[in-house]
Amino acid sequence: MNGFDWQAKLRQKIRTIPDFPGPGIQFKDITPLVRDPAALRLAVHQLIHPFVGAPITAVAGMEARGFIFGSLAAWELGVGFVPLRKPGKLPYDVQSVSYTLEYGEAALEAHIDAVGPGDSVLLVDDLLATGGTAQASGELVTRLGAQVFAFAFVIELGALKGRQKLAGYLVHSLLVL
């Protein structure tokens, strides 16, 4: 983008909160980024940039911050959005995958008819930490019979090596912190 340091612009809008939600966690708060229209537009533009024209049929986003970036990415790519939700939230029949989080245990669910054979899905979340959430999301989409096209994240915490859990997949992250 013509020498414009877009990564610096995004980095400025991410606030680090020490020891949230527990001791030792450096929480990356993206609320200043999504509050700023230029930064939000920039983040979404950069998230989808490698995928414009790709044969993606849906974007899936992980609850909750993946809904923000995922639905905007789906809008920009001209495809629909699939929410991957915490257990007990979806009203229809679900497929479920459990996993280990940087801070605890969790599971994600999707409606059984959300995607299926013939779908090629871009998975979007705000942040890649240990990779457990992303790996489980990929598993969920795969169990429903769809293909994972790629993963896209605003932030990747490089030291936690989440990318290794996603070996074999295309992983696009805007900032490695």
Residues binding ligand AMP (CB under 6 A): 25-28, 62, 65, 101-102, 125-134, 162
Q: Which is nearer to ligand AMP, 13 or 28 (CB)?
A: 28
Other beta carbons within 10 Å of 101: 12
Q: Which is nearer to ligand AMP, 117 or 157 (CB)?
A: 157
41 is catalytic: no
Smallest distance, ligand AMP to C-beta of residue 138, A: 12
65 is catalytic: yes
Smallest distance, ligand AMP to C-beta of residue 125, A: 5
Please pick, among 41, 65, 139, 156, the residue that the annotation labels catalytic.
65
CA distances from 169 to 19, 164, 175 (A): 31, 10, 18
Q: ∠133-41-7 over CA atoms, to 5°?
A: 70
Q: Which is nearer to ligand AMP, 19 or 113 (CB)?
A: 19
Smallest distance, ligand AMP to C-beta of residue 16, A: 8
Other beta carbons within 10 Å of 118: 9
In the block, residue with structure tokens 């612009």: 9
Please pick, among 11, 63, 76, 102, the residue that the annotation labels catalytic.
102
**Calpha distance 13→55 (Å, rounded):** 31
Other beta carbons within 10 Å of 30: 22
Q: Which residues are catalytic?
A: 65, 102
